[in-house]
Every structure is written in C-alpha cells, then in structure tokens.
Amino acid sequence: MSDESVVGRQTALQERARAALAGGVSSNTRLLNPLLIAERALGCRLWDADGNEYIDYLLGQGPNFLGYAPPRVVEKVVAAQRDGVIFAATHVREIEAAERVLEVLGDWAETMRFGSSSTEMVQAAIRMARASTGRSVILRFNGHYHGWVDNIYSRDGGPQAAPASPGQAESALRDVLTIEWNDAQAFECAVATHADDLAAVIMEPIMINSGVIEPAPGYLEAVRRLCQQRGIVLIFDETISGFRLALGGAAERYGVQPDLAIYGKAMAAGYPCAAIVGRRELFAQVATGAVTHAGTFNGNVIAAAAVLASLDELASGEVYQRVGVVGTALMAALRACADDLLPDLRLQGLPMAFHASFGTGDEPVTSYGQLKQRDQERYSRLAVALFDQGVWVARRGIWYVSAAHTDADVTETVDRVAVAFKAFNLAAQS
C-alpha cells in the first residue's frame, strides 16, 4: 500500500495532486510521509482513494485526539454553524469557549485570545512579551518547533539562531538565541549572560516534536524560578501537549505554570483553532489595542463550537483514563513484538504520544543531542513497511493515540506490525 505500489485511483490522484498543489500537499510536514490521498476517516481508521484502510497513529499530526469525526462533536459544530460562522463582533459561543478554556487551565490562565493556527499564536506571544518587558531577545531550544515563520524557525545550532529554510531573512532571527533543552546549567548560563535583554523563553514543556522527551526532574521549576527572578516571560508552547497530556496539559502534569501558553491541536477535536492564554497583565496592551493582534477568522463559530464540544468530551477525565490504558497496552505490545523481531527498536514517551527510533541506545533519551544519534533513515523504512501493512505512522517516529483507539485496535495493530517487522527484516537481508 505504499505510494510506489498503489495502482488505480490513488495513483491518478497523486499525479493530479502533484500538478495542482506544490509537491502534492499544502504543508511541508506532509512531504515527510508517503503521499497518501485520503478519502475519509472515522474513529481511528482512515481510507485512501483506493479504499485501502489504515489504523491511524498520526491523527492529522495530532489534532484528532478524539478520533476522526467524533459524532457528538460533529453534530454540535454543524448545528452551530447554521447561526453564521464569522462576525465582525464577539460571538456568544466565543465567550463560552474562552470561559471554559480558562476554567480548566487554572488560576494562572486569566485571559486569552483565539486564533486559527499555533504559528500565529506564537507570534502573538513573542510580540506581547517584547511589548510588556521592553526587551527584545527570545530564547528558544534546539529540537523544539514553534511554527515556520522567519523570526522563530531556526536550524539546530546556536547560540545565535540561524535560518532553517532558504528564503528566510537572517535578520529576523537577530534577536533569537538557541540553546539545548533539559540542561539547567546551559539555561542558567544563558540567563546570566543575556538576562537584561531577554523578553521571553519559549519551549515545548515536554519535547514531543523531537523524541517525546520529558523534562528532567526539577528542570521546569528551575526555568520558572529564574524567569520569575529576572522578569522574563515564560511561554509554554502546548500546541501538542495541551488538552492531550491532561486537561491542563503539561503545566498540569508537571505542576509548573507559565506566564503565557499556546494551545491548538487537541483543543478543538480536529477543527482549526488555536489560542494564547495567560496572565492578564501581559494582555493589557492587546486589550486596549496598543499592541496589535488580529485575524479575520479568529474566534469563528465553528472553532468555538468545536472547543466547547471537545471540552464536553474531555471534562470528565474518562478520555484520559481510556487513552492511558490503551496507549500503555499498545506500547507494551509493540515492545514485546520488537523484542522478538527488532530488538534495537526503542520506544519512549507517554501513552498518548510516544516515540520510536533506532540507534539511540538502551538508556532513556533525555536530550536532543542524544536523539540526534538515531538512525532516521532506517526508521523511515520501517514506517513505510508499517504503512504497507495498513498502520499509518509518522516517519519521524512519533505515534499518537486517540480516544477512538480500542483494545481490539491494539490487537489488530500488533498483528499488522508483526507482519511489517518481518517484511522489514527480510528486505534488510536481501
């Protein structure tokens, strides 16, 4: 079922896609996987244009935490949009959605704004931090992703951030520093050198984009303490972790509160919506209009209804419990299967998001430097072997588990995985 072997409608559509859309896709992240032409999806299953069925662990890069087209959410969103979708005004549902989001996040989350993508919410956070501190420098970390915009997208290295893509203006990164994450000493050192210029520190509080690496004990607390002492705005980019690790995301799981946080993906059950949330004083100038934040589609009714419907599903905590059980079972079953067939395959992370890699050794991966030792090319080939057996995973190693995955799906997945592992081993021998 890989893109090389599919014949028929899928092949014709791939050709049309490549002609009509640059590279056949609308986001470069989608170039990282085989070009699958999706027809429909429901729960944890996705069907391509030839009717091939996949058990999905990509979840649209994360948003479909409740599974595809969760029926109660779809009903509520469809009903809501009959009232009109976008107004040059504040909609009742927008207020309700904001109140619910703030309520579940806790006391530190005093006010917020909605947007359509996390990329733009990160931009709002950077601007607000600079405006409120009167400083310009942003400290970020290797391996973390905060959108593709010129002033934050940077290649590995540092401390001076440098463009990761041709066409990026180098000057846009002049005030951005990059250091290693999960290294309290490196952080202290950067703050000691640059504190007077530092407006904000931005991080994924658990590095899900690179290896699903959890913060070392005490690390987030140390960062929080120093930011507090030096008047630096601490921004948690919870685009992936938010509403997925727990209702209150990584801040709740690790018990450390940011000044500002970015949410998206799991917050709105697959509908496009993002948010910036935080302390009221940081929003003061946005509230008066002195600091600009805008967006035609911000807070639209579809997004607000999706947030409300998603929170209706998540509020009881039952989803987290279920994903925890199913994800743990999946990780254990994959481990057992790998022990037999691919003993050097390493799995690490959490039941709702974990990472698989080759070549990272037996010890837990705790740093980006360690993760970079992985054999990415070999894992990519394994991801294609899995795809060929109807298991849709990201080539870069992440597996997402949704509320729609069941124990039966885990059993079926592992049957398919065993076939894929054997085929992968055979191909390696030939």
Residue 294 Cα distances to 87, 88, 122, 285, 301, angstroms: 14, 12, 13, 13, 16
Q: Does 328 bind ligand PLP (CB under 6 A)?
A: no
Beta-carbon contacts of 228 under 8 Å, excluding residues fewer than 6 positions away, are: none
C-alpha–C-alpha distance, residues 324 and 350, integer Å: 8
Comparison of 43 and 63: residue with beta carbon closer to ligand PLP: 63
- Each residue 229-258 as x (binds ligand PLP by CB under 6 A) or -, in order, gives --------x-xx------------------
Sign of the Cα torsion 278, 282, 287, 293 reads: negative
Q: Strand pairing of 45-48 and 53-56?
A: antiparallel
Q: Does 117 bind ligand PLP (CB under 6 A)?
A: yes
Comparison of 97 and 410: residue with beta carbon closer to ligand PLP: 97
Least distance from C-beta 239 to ligand PLP, angstroms?
Answer: 3
Least distance from C-beta 247 to ligand PLP, angstroms?
Answer: 18
Which of these ranges, 73-81, 96-104, 139-147, 398-406, lies near ligand PLP under the rule CB under 6 A? Answer: 139-147
And the tokens for 207?
Answer: 């590095």
Select the residue interacting with ligand PLP from 45, 140, 146, 224 (CB under 6 A). 146
Sign of the Cα torsion 98, 103, 104, 107 reads: positive
Comparison of 209 and 348: residue with beta carbon closer to ligand PLP: 209
The residues in 193-232 that bind ligand PLP, with binding defined as CB under 6 A, are 204, 209
Which of these ranges, 74-82, 111-119, 289-297, 315-323, lies near ligand PLP under the rule CB under 6 A? Answer: 111-119
Sign of the Cα torsion 108, 112, 114, 118 reads: negative
- Strand ranges (DSSP E) for 21-136? 38-42, 45-48, 53-56, 111-115
And the tokens for 50?
Answer: 């030839």
Burial class, 25, CB count within 10 angstroms (exposed 0-12 / middle 13-18 / buried 19+): middle
Comparison of 145 and 387: residue with beta carbon closer to ligand PLP: 145
Which of these ranges, 91-99, 112-120, 340-348, 350-358, lies near ligand PLP under the rule CB under 6 A? Answer: 112-120
Torsion of CA 319, 321, 323, 328, to 10 degrees: 180
Comparison of 29 and 171: residue with beta carbon closer to ligand PLP: 29
Comparison of 199 and 240: residue with beta carbon closer to ligand PLP: 240
Least distance from C-beta 204 to ligand PLP, angstroms?
Answer: 5
Select the residue interacting with ligand PLP from 68, 145, 358, 368 (CB under 6 A). 145
C-alpha–C-alpha distance, residues 245 and 139, integer Å: 25
Select the residue interacting with ligand PLP from 3, 74, 147, 295 (CB under 6 A). 147
Comparison of 274 and 401: residue with beta carbon closer to ligand PLP: 274
Comparison of 119 and 257: residue with beta carbon closer to ligand PLP: 119
Which of these ranges, 68-76, 140-148, 337-345, 405-413, lies near ligand PLP under the rule CB under 6 A? Answer: 140-148
CB atoms within 10 A of CB 129: 25
Comparison of 178 and 413: residue with beta carbon closer to ligand PLP: 178
Least distance from C-beta 50 to ligand PLP, angstroms?
Answer: 28
Sign of the Cα torsion 4, 55, 424, 214 reads: positive
And the tokens for 259?
Answer: 């000044």
Q: Does 301 bind ligand PLP (CB under 6 A)?
A: no
- At 176, is the secondary structure helix, strand, or coil? strand
Comparison of 147 and 159: residue with beta carbon closer to ligand PLP: 147
The residues in 260-279 that bind ligand PLP, with binding defined as CB under 6 A, are 264, 274
The residues in 340-359 that bind ligand PLP, with binding defined as CB under 6 A, are none
Q: Are 41 and 47 in contact (CB under 8 A)?
A: yes
CB atoms within 10 A of CB 123: 20
Least distance from C-beta 5 to ligand PLP, angstroms?
Answer: 29
Residue ranges that bind ligand PLP, judged by CB under 6 A: 61, 117-119, 122, 145-147, 204, 209, 237, 239-240, 264, 274
